[in-house]
Structure 1
Amino acid sequence: MGMPPAAERLDLPESARAVLRALVTDGPATRPQLGHTLDLSRPTMSVAIAELAKLDLVTSQGTTKGSTGRSAVIYSVAPAAGHVLGVEVAATRVRVAAHALDGSQLSSREERMSARRRNVTAAATAAAIELVRKVRADVGHRHGPLRDVVIGAPTAPTEHSSDRVDSLRVDGTEQLVSSLPVPAEVPVVVENNVNCAALAEHRLGVARNQRMFAYLQVGVKIGAGIVLDGQLLHGAHGATGEVSRMPFPWGENESPRRAGLEHYLGSEALLERCAAAWPASAGPPPRDAKALFEAAARGDVHARRMVDRHAQDIGRLAVGVLSVLDPGLIVLGGGVGQNQLVLPEVQRVLRSLAWDTEVTVGALGDRATVLGAVHLAISRALNRLA
C-alpha cells in the first residue's frame, strides 16, 4: 500500500493508533510487551501490527529471548514512516535539525549570525532557507515524507496568538513561514522559542516526569515556558510566560516601561552595568557575558560581584513566577541563566522571599530550543497519524 501522504489523517483502528503512539513515545518493543502495556489481546495486536506494517509505519528489527526462552520479534517505527524538521531562529544563530518520528537525529546544520537581533531579519530567513535545503538533501528519500515543521523563534506562537498580542509577533516571521522550501501540504507553524526549550527539558532533560514546572530563560532576552501534565500552557492570547511584560521599574517615583524588565535583565544591559561599575585599575571590562562569567569562575572579584548581583535579580524574577504558578521545579536556561554560577544566588533569593522550591540548570544547553521544536513537530505529526 505504501506510505501515506504527509498531512493525511489515517483511517486506522484505535488499537493500531495506540501501538504506533507507544512505539514513537517509548521506543522499540515486542508484541507481548506492547500488548501488556496497552492491554490488547494477541489477535488484536496481530491485526494492529499488520495494519501499520502495510502502511510502512512499523518494521521489525530482530528478535529477543524472554525469560521462558521463547523468541519475540522487536518492532519499531519504520524509517519510511517519515520525519520532521525543527528550525531555530535565535539571537545569534539559525539552526535546522531533521529527526525521524522515533526522535533519532537524521541531520543537523547551523549558521552563526554576525549580529544580535530581535527580529527575524532577511539574513536570518535566507540562512534558514539554505539550511533547510541542505538538511533535506542530507535526509533524501530514505526516511519517508516530511510530515511537520516547527519554527522556534522569539515570538508569539502562530496557533495560539490573537490580535491583542500582535506586539509580540516578531517582524519577519510570516515571511519565514511562507518562504521555507518544503512541500505545500506540509504544515509549518511557529512556536515561541522559550516554550520549545521548556518542552525539550520535559521530554529529554531535567524536567522528565515533572507534572508542572517552569522554564526560565535569561539571555539576550527573557521569557518563561510553563509545562503542565506534559502540555505547554499558552493562555487566552498565546502569551503565557511573557514575563518581560511584568511592570518594571515599579515604585513611588517611577513608572514602568514597556518590556522594561527584559531590558534590565537582558545580557546587553548587564554588560552596560558591568562597564559602568568596572574599576579602571582592573583593566578593560569583559566584552561579553561569556567573558564576564569566565572571569568570575577564575575568581575575579569584580566579575563575581556583578554575576552575583545579576543572579539575585534573576532570583527575584523567579520569585514572581513562583508566586503566581507554584511549580514543582524551576529550570534555568538561556545564555546567562544556564550558567552554574547563577544557581546558588537564585536558590538563596527564593528561600528568602518565597519558599524553598527545587531550582536547577537545564540539561540541554543551547540545543534546547531546536530539540523542543523537533519534538513538538513529532507530536503534531503523530496526532495526525494516530
Structure 2
Amino acid sequence: MPLERPELPDSARAVFRALAVDGPASRPALSEALGISKVTMSAAIGELESLGLVRSQGMTRGATGRSAVLYTLAPGAGHVLGVEVGATRVRVAAHSLDGLRISTRTEALASHHRQVTTDATAVAIALVETVRAEVGEDYGPLRGVVIAAPTLPKAGPAGRQLLDGVQLLTTELPVPPEVPMSVENNVNCAAVAEHRIGVARDYGTFAYLQIGVKIGVGLIIDGALLRGTHGAAGEVAMVPFPWAPGVRPRRAGLEEYLGSDALMERCAAAWPTGGTPVPKDAVALFDAAAGGDAHARRVVDEHARDIGALVVSVLAVFDPGLIVLGGGVGQNQLVLPEVRRTVQALAWDTEVTAGALGDHATLLGAVHTAIGRALDAIA
C-alpha cells in the first residue's frame, strides 16, 4: 500500500516544507516568511508536533534581544535513499528530509565499466541493506529512493530506457514495495545537486557538463531539469563527430574522442621516448601536469581546448548564464584556464567554473531528487 499522506491544513504543509528546505526557524521568522498569522502558526506547529513531524531545537535571540524557540524537522518525519551506480564504484546514502546525512556507504568495483553490470547491481543491493540496517527505526519511514545511473534515450516519447543492470536493480532493491522508486540519469542528478546545494545555487538557468570516462550535459532551465521528448536532452555524446569535409561522423564519436580512455591513448602516442614513464591514467596525467611536467601539461591543455569547443557548442544551443564542469576530468582546476580562453575566443562572455561538490555530486543529486519528491507527497 502507498505511504499515507498526513492530513494537514495548507498552513502546516507550508511550515513543514519551509523547515525542510530552509532549515531551523522560529515561529516569528516562519510567520513573516510565509505570511501566516501568529495564531495560525501556533496551530500549524502544534499539529506538526503532534504527528512527530517537527520538534523544538534550542533557542534563538532576535535583533530586539527577545528569545524564541527554534523548530526543525523531527527524525520521525522520514528519510530517503540515494543510490549511485557508477563506472568505478557504488554509493548509497540515507538523508533526512531536511538534507542531513544519516548514513553513507561506498564500495569500489573490481574494474570500471561503461554499463551497469550484475556485479555492480549485487554491490548496490548489499549496500542498501547495510545502510537501511544502520538507519533502523530512528528516522521514520523510508519515503523514497532515487537511483542515479547511466540511461539511454528511448525511441519513443516515454523517457529514458533503463539498462539491463539498472532494470534488475529496480526489482531487487531491498525496500518496501510501497516506497516510491525511480531511476535518474547520473549527469542529470549531478546537475540537480549543483543547483540545490552547489556552485549554481543562485542560477535559475545553467548547464552542468560532465567530462570523464563518458560525457554528458545536465540542463536546468528556470530551476527545472530539462529532459526532452525522448529523455535525451544533454546527450552531447551524440553530437556528430568528426565533422569535416570528406569525413563521415561516427555514432557517439565525440564521447569516444573526449572520454578519458581516448585521452590516455593520445597521451601515450604523444609522449616522448627516453623520458619519464607515460602516466598510467588520467589521475596520474593531471598529477604530473600539476607537478610541472611540460609534456603532461601540453596534453592537458590540448584536451582542455577540446572541452572548450564542446562548451561553445552547448552555449550556441542553450545560452546559459553558467557552465559548471564536473566529472573525473572536467572538475580538475587545470582544465579551466584553456576552457575559458577557448570560450572567449569562439563565443561570448559566459561564466565557466568547476563544480563545488566534486565526485559526490551524482549521489547528492539522487538524494535531493528523492527529497524533493518526498516533500511533494507530504507538503
> Where on the TM-score scale, by shorter chain, does this alignment land: which range?
over 0.9
Matches within 5 A, 1:173-322: 173-322=166-315
C-alpha offsets along residues 42-96 of structure 1, whole Å, 9 cap, x if unaligned?
1111121122112211111122233344332111001100000000011100000
**Distance change (3 Å), C-alpha of 1:166 and 1:199:** closer
**Distance change (3 Å), C-alpha of 1:168 and 1:278:** farther
CA contact (8 A) 2:60 2:68 kept: yes
SS class of match (1:281): coil
Which stretch shows the higher mean deviation, 366-375 or 277-286? 277-286
| TM-score of the aligned structures, taking structure 2 as reference length | 0.97
Query: Which of residues 82, 85, 91 in structure 1 aligns to 2:87?
Result: 91
SS class of match (1:106): strand
Amino acid at match of 2:240: P
Give, in whole Å, the separation in 1 of the partners of 2:65 and 2:270. Answer: 72
C-alpha offsets along residues 115-157 of structure 1, whole Å, 9 cap, x if unaligned?
1101111110000000001111111110001100001111159
CA contact (8 A) 1:278 1:285 kept: yes
Amino acid at match of 1:203: R
Query: Which of residues 344, 349, 353 in structure 2 aligns to 1:356?
Result: 349
Matches within 5 A, 1:1-386: 7-156=3-152, 163=156, 169-386=162-379
Amino acid at match of 1:47: A
Give, in whole Å, the separation in 2 of the partners of 1:60 and 1:78. Answer: 8
Give, in whole Å, the separation in 1 of the partners of 2:158 and 2:144. Answer: 25
SS class of match (1:310): helix
C-alpha offsets along residues 213-268 of structure 1, whole Å, 9 cap, x if unaligned?
10000000000001122221111121111110111111111111111111110000
Amino acid at match of 2:346: L
Deviation at 1:13, TM superposition (A): 1.3
Deviation at 1:166, TM superposition (A): 8.3
Give, in whole Å, the separation in 2 of the partners of 1:97 and 1:156. Answer: 24
**Misfit runs of 4+, over 6 Å:** none
**Distance change (3 Å), C-alpha of 1:26 and 1:128:** same
Unaligned runs of 5+ in 1: none
**Distance change (3 Å), C-alpha of 1:298 and 1:65:** closer
Give, in whole Å, the separation in 2 of the partners of 1:375 and 1:190. Answer: 13
Give, in whole Å, the separation in 1 of the partners of 2:339 and 2:201. Answer: 22
For the aligned residue pairs, the C-alpha RMSD in angstroms reads: 1.6
Sequence identity of aligned pairs in percent?
65
Amino acid at match of 1:36: E
C-alpha offsets along residues 284-330 of structure 1, whole Å, 9 cap, x if unaligned?
31110000111111111111111111000000000000111110000
Residues matched between the structures, number: 379
Which stretch shows the higher mean deviation, 30-39 or 43-52? 43-52
Amino acid at match of 1:153: A
| TM-score of the aligned structures, taking structure 1 as reference length | 0.95
CA contact (8 A) 1:8 1:384 kept: no
C-alpha offsets along residues 264-284 of structure 1, whole Å, 9 cap, x if unaligned?
100001111111111212243
Unaligned runs of 5+ in 2: none
Deviation at 1:168, TM superposition (A): 5.5
CA contact (8 A) 2:26 2:69 kept: yes
**Distance change (3 Å), C-alpha of 1:246 and 1:54:** same
